[in-house]
Structure 1
């Protein structure tokens, strides 16, 4: 059988995972799955492929994580998704590229240093009394805050401490996130697979289930599905797996919040065919890779 390493983290803690649902359909296609702590330094040449599964603590060890992925990429194993996609979406500045491709994103102000950031100007630019501030490298809403105008001095001092030496960006708070929440659409090899709706608990804005959000399977609105398909068709190289997160703006447009191409939770448990579609896409991508390697 072919061997694939699923990159995980040493201790998943309270994170909810369901990647195990793909093990059986992967086995049906001739794959032996082995979970591997991404910091354990095995011989990557012992694997045919490596899937960036749930290494969700990587933002705290960014350079080490990138080196591990580079080592995998230099081995005989196929890294899924490709390293080029990882590097592109590692920082949220990729959203500017997405906008340049013609897709709608949540408007954003970008900053390299908190000391020089003019938060008050963002309130005026977006004509809003509520903003969201986020690091450009991060996951699971860590160090993401809602700011109300005017920003209190103690909150300003906390931001100076939290974002010291870190790039970040600021967006208007999208009110619909507290009612209709966020839509996540999943694509495998450019083909739509399934979708979910994530609604934060009352009084919160975070849509991760670890923060109490409700998760449910949905048939996405046709306009949203069309916008998502257009975006994924434009991404190069083609992701084997990917998730896009959208919210609905005040004008009715669906705005991309985030594009997850590194280690997204795929919510396989929300659709009975999702795990099989993932395995099929993974195997198809490997067959293309193996064919090129043989031809070379």
Structure 2
């Protein structure tokens, strides 16, 4: 008999933290909303760090990825752990879709299925082309460079003719270790922001608008970006739900980050299926929607 129905997966920094700032408080509060929603349905729940070597993963029916936000800094270790745990319990979302979603090459797969994504050029590990050569070939003047496996704007750089040369050495070092991606700079993200659409079991629940601070292009609150409640248009809702439906399997939760591209079309920035911040604090009712989806899957 399983001891737990659901394990809420986090990282060890958020298990009994000694210092609780606003950032950590948000993590704890949102996990609490999800845990209470699950427990209200009669499910047994526990929060566990993904790298807890003492926890027996066969003791739970499923694990729900929430704040495992250190995985891309420890990817080899995380990947091995993921393979091991997938043999012992149900992963939400599944190992298959997590591995697909970890690498931003998934954008190409969605594009082939008709999803409009930001123009993207993938630079494979080991390439010998320089940033200057790539920009000349692509005829892009202002771009954003970032890793294919990343999060929290890690190694994300805005490039133009004035600073490309100063990034060549860093790029050479990065591309020797991992694949990167280059995208035209999206001016409307700066002026209008980026919209995060939460979709549970294929159905939209709520959205927030992220706006970069003055003088920056990164909308993450880690870099001073601000977050606002947002009511999406019917077209934006349809777009977000269609992005999720284009996946090889229906994820139980997704965050669909969209924006208006340089041609004024709705475009997908990223589809987050691993451990996205889902902004339950802005719409607590969504925790109940997620909990009911999990309950149906288990029962």
Common fold, TM-score beyond 0.5? yes
Equivalent residue of 2:251, what SS?
coil
Q: Greater shift after overlay, 153-162 or 163-172?
A: 153-162
Worse-superposed segment, 161-170 or 263-272: 161-170
* Alpha-carbon distance in 2 for matches of 1:242, 1:204: 26
Structure 1 residue 109, shift from structure 2 partner = 0.9
Partner of 2:10: 8
CA-to-partner distance for each residue in 1:79-128, whole Å, 9 max, x for gaps?
11011101111100000000001010011111113652343355356654
* Other-structure match for 2:131: 119
Contact persistence 1:109–1:122 (CA under 8 A):
no
**Structure 2 residue 62 is the aligned partner of structure 1 residue 53:** no
Q: Check 1:126–1:106 CA distance in 2 against 1; reply closer, same or farther (3 A cut).
A: farther
Distance 1:261 1:56 in 2: 13
**What is the aligned partner in structure 2 of residue 222 from structure 1?**
234
Q: Give the conservation status (yes or no) of the 8 Å contact 1:185–1:228.
A: yes
2-structure distance, mates of 1:47, 1:126: 50
State the distance in 1 between where 2:164 and 2:240 align. 38
CA distance in 2, matches of 1:221, 1:8: 33
Distance 2:75 2:201 in 1: 27
Aligned equivalent of 1:269: 281
The answer to whether the 8 A contact 1:78-1:286 is kept is no
Per mean C-alpha deviation after superposition, the further-off stretch among 90-99 and 111-120 is: 111-120
Unaligned runs of 5+ in 2: 15-20
Q: CA RMSD in A?
A: 1.9
**Alpha-carbon offset, residue 279 of structure 1:** 0.9
CA 1:162 to 1:234, structure 2 compared with 1: closer, same or farther past 3 Å? closer
SS of aligned partner of 1:235: coil
Check 1:117–1:10 CA distance in 2 against 1; reply closer, same or farther (3 A cut): farther
Give the equivalent residue in structure 1 for 2:48.
Answer: 36
The one of 144, 150, 153 equivalent to 1:138 is 150
* Cross-structure match for 2:119: 107
TM-score, with length taken from structure 1: 0.90
* Structure 2 residue 38 is the aligned partner of structure 1 residue 26: yes
Q: How many residues align?
A: 286
Q: Per the alignment, do residues 221 and 125 of structure 1 end up closer, same or farther by CA in structure 2, a change over 3 Å counting?
A: farther
Q: Verify: 1:68 aligned to 2:81, yes or no.
A: yes
Q: Distance in 2 between matches of 1:223 and 1:266?
A: 21
Offset of 1:161 from its aligned partner?
2.8
Match of 1:281 in 2: 293
Q: Distance in 1 between matches of 2:221 and 2:31?
A: 16
In structure 2, relative to structure 1, the CA distance for the partners of 1:182 and 1:114 (3 Å cut) is farther
In 2, Cα distance between equivalents of 1:286 and 1:258:
29
- Contiguous gaps of at least 5 residues in structure 1: 288-296
Provide, for residues 23-70 of structure 1, a one-character-per-residue CA deviation record: whole Å limited to 9, x for no partner: 111111112221111111211111121111111111122122122222
- Within the candidate set 202, 205, 218, 1:190 is matched to 202
Rounded to whole Å, the distance in 2 between the matches of 1:107 and 1:168 is 14
